[in-house]
Amino acid sequence: MKVQSKEDNRNGVENKTWTMVNKETGALMSPWHDIENESTFDDEFCVTGVIEMTSKTQNKLECVKDLAHNPIMQDITVNKNTKQYELRKFSQPANFNYGFIPRTWSDSEIGGDGDPIDLVDLSWKDLKPVMAVSDYLVLGALGLID
């Protein structure tokens, strides 16, 4: 698979979109639904993950549930003062890569956000690009509600 990015305009805000493409067929893929979540390692505590946000950046990127093939885009929010749409950013950059586990789902009926399960990448490699697919050893879980 390969990753392509392009500029997009959603809700009147210029935004970058990352999509996943099958190298052999050229067909668009969903990083959420089309990637196996089982690691290539034969270990029950390993999973596959997809990076949404690269370490040391402030842009709030996420897998978009309501668009075909679930591209990754910067989240959009409404400014309370101007009532205009704007790109969402964190006040401080994260010190880790952040993403999700494909083919998982946090059920909104029991307090989840309806997104795939989040993943914090604590690997030795500081920067992984958006849409990087890697295997991870699960060290633990944080019981947080978005």
51: in domain: yes
The reported pTM is 0.85
Range of the domain at 110: 2-137
Provide the domain count of the chain.
1
pLDDT digits (tens, 9 = 90+) for 51-78: 999 999 999 999 998 899 999 999 888 8
145: in domain: no
68: in domain: yes
> 7 and 77 in contact (C-beta within 8 Å)?
no
| Half-sphere exposure (Cβ direction) of 19: Cα atoms closer than 13 Å | 15
72: in domain: yes
| Closest to 72 (Cα-Cα) out of 145, 138, 132 | 132
87: in domain: yes
146: in domain: no
The CATH number covering residue 119 comes to 3.90.80.10
144: in domain: no
83: in domain: yes
Question: Residue 87 and residue 118: Cα distance in Å, rounded?
Answer: 21
pLDDT digits (tens, 9 = 90+) for 87-121: 899 999 988 999 999 999 888 888 778 889 999 99
Question: Residue 8 and residue 71: Cα distance in Å, rounded?
Answer: 11
